[in-house]
Amino acid sequence: MPLRTRFTEVFGIEHPVVQGGMQWVGRAELVAAVAEAGGLGFLTALTQPTPEDLATEIARCRELTDKPFGVNLTILPTIDPPPYDEYRRVIVEAGIPVVETAGSNPEPHLPLFHEHGIKVLHKCTSVRHALKAERVGVDGVSIDGFECAGHPGEEDVPGLVLIPAATARLSVPVVASGGFADGRGLAAALALGADGINMGTRFMATVEAPVHERVKRAIVEADERSTDLIFRPLRNTARVARNAVSTEVVRILDDGGEFADVRELVAGARGRTVFETGDLDAGIWTVGQCQGLVGDVPSVADLVHRIVREAEEVLGRLAGRMVVPA
């Protein structure tokens, strides 16, 4: 049975389970599998080298599913930015129903998306940024706790505090992100006021994830301590899998080094090589603390259905424990 929430109603999906955009991982085979399972998956726009490649990937995803899916557009301040206008045009022309934005303020992108009936889910790491996103008009917020893979912000607030702090003040649907891997997490997120969960690491360890089997096995075998926080001295913290490269990056920066001293070590092309070849020390690659909760590599369908079933069982069991005063 579907587990209905405000998020499923507003965003038109069956289950309140989201596969967020992941660089090099958010590709058609994974996203289509999530859609077929009743969740909401996001192709990652900037995984595709050009806007034309994104259009091709959207078409490939549509060959695999007729259910709704979205596109992640991560907006980063760079000296030589990608052609965001062209990526937006592709998204609109393809009739994508949902966009996940992350990084910079999504406000400049909202008029075009809303003009074409596209709903926007914006990823935030703090309540104040979530409130600003709501003010400028996003349709939902994904709130990222400190446990998450990638960029957790600089305030180190874990989900157990961040989620209820956000849901107490926001009116739009809220998706809890960071640290979620099973039905217990979904039940906990709903109890904290969220309308669903967003998972990245857990979806990497699935049959359909387009990453090397050694990466999937590494996630299964790792525990919750097996990550590093890099770039902390630069105030651009990122959580990644602990390996030879991340350890060296942490050492260099802790010893007073600058970004130029680690630039080659953290190059995105090296991280992509990890996923393609399974060489776990080829570069840095993002993974969250919830890898300590990952114990298998199921199909996406089995995973989503298991999570929903477990959440329903947990919520029912807890309801049965309630003592009603006489």
Confidence of residue 326 (pLDDT cuts 50, 70, 90): low
Q: What single-letter amino acid sits at 100? A: E
**pLDDT, average across residues 97-103:** 96
pLDDT given at position 320: 80
Average pLDDT over every residue of 286-306: 98
State the total domains in the chain: 1
pLDDT class of 324 with cuts at 50, 70, 90? low
Sign of CA dihedral 20, 23, 25, 30: positive
Kindly tell me if the per-residue pLDDT of 325 is higher than 80: no
Cβ proximity of 185 and 308 under 8 Å: no
168: containing domain: 14-210
**Rounded distance between C-alpha atoms, residue 98 and residue 120, angstroms:** 6
Q: Which residue has the higher pLDDT, 325 or 84?
A: 84
* Residue 148 placed within a domain: yes
Q: For the beta carbon of residue 85, count every other beta carbon within 10 angstroms.
A: 10
More confident position, 62 or 324: 62
Is 285 inside a domain boundary?
no
The CB density around residue 323, as the number of other CB atoms within 10 Å, is 5
Mean pLDDT, residues 250-275: 96
Average pLDDT value for residue range 143-159: 96
E strands, 115-258, in order: 119-124, 140-144, 174-177, 196-199, 227-230, 238-241
Position 165 scores a pLDDT of 98
Is residue 215 within 8 Å of residue 243, measured between CB atoms? no
Given pLDDT bands bounded at 50, 70 and 90, which one contains residue 2?
confident
Mean pLDDT in residue range 46-71: 98
User: At 198, which CATH number?
Assistant: 3.20.20.70
Q: What is the pLDDT of residue 99?
A: 98
3-class secondary-structure state, position 95: coil
Could you give the CA distance from residue 50 to residue 167 in angstroms, rounded to a whole number? 37
- Count other Cβ atoms within 10 Å, centred on residue 257: 14
pLDDT at 138: 98
pLDDT 10s digits, 162-213: 999 999 999 999 999 999 999 999 999 999 999 999 999 999 999 999 999 9
Whether 28 is covered by a domain: the verdict is yes
Evaluate whether residue 25 is within a structural domain: yes
Q: Are 99 and 70 in contact (CB under 8 A)?
A: yes
State the pLDDT at residue 80: 81
Quote the percentage of the chain above a pLDDT of 70.
Answer: 98
Tell me which residue of 105, 87, 27, 13 sits closest to 51, measured CA to CA: 87
Which letter does DSSP use for residue 150 in this model?
Answer: B
Average pLDDT of every residue of the chain: 96
Whether 138 is covered by a domain: the verdict is yes
Which two tokens mark 210? 């387009």
CA distance 24 to 156: 26
In the predicted model, is pLDDT for residue 21 greater than 80? yes
> Encoding tokens for residue 266?
């953290």
Domain assignment of residue 26, yes or no: yes
Is there a domain that residue 130 lies in?
Answer: yes
Q: What angle do CA 162, 34, 183 make, to 5 degrees?
A: 50
264 is a domain residue: no
Q: pLDDT tens digit string along 181-194? A: 999 999 999 999 99
Strands 70-75 and 40-44: parallel
Beta bridge partners of 174: 141
- This prediction has a pTM of 0.95
Ramachandran assignment for 153, one of left (phi > 0), alpha (psi -120 to 50 degrees), beta (any other): left
**Residue whose C-alpha is closest to residue 17's, from 287, 303, 243:** 303
What mean pLDDT is predicted for residues 114-142?
97
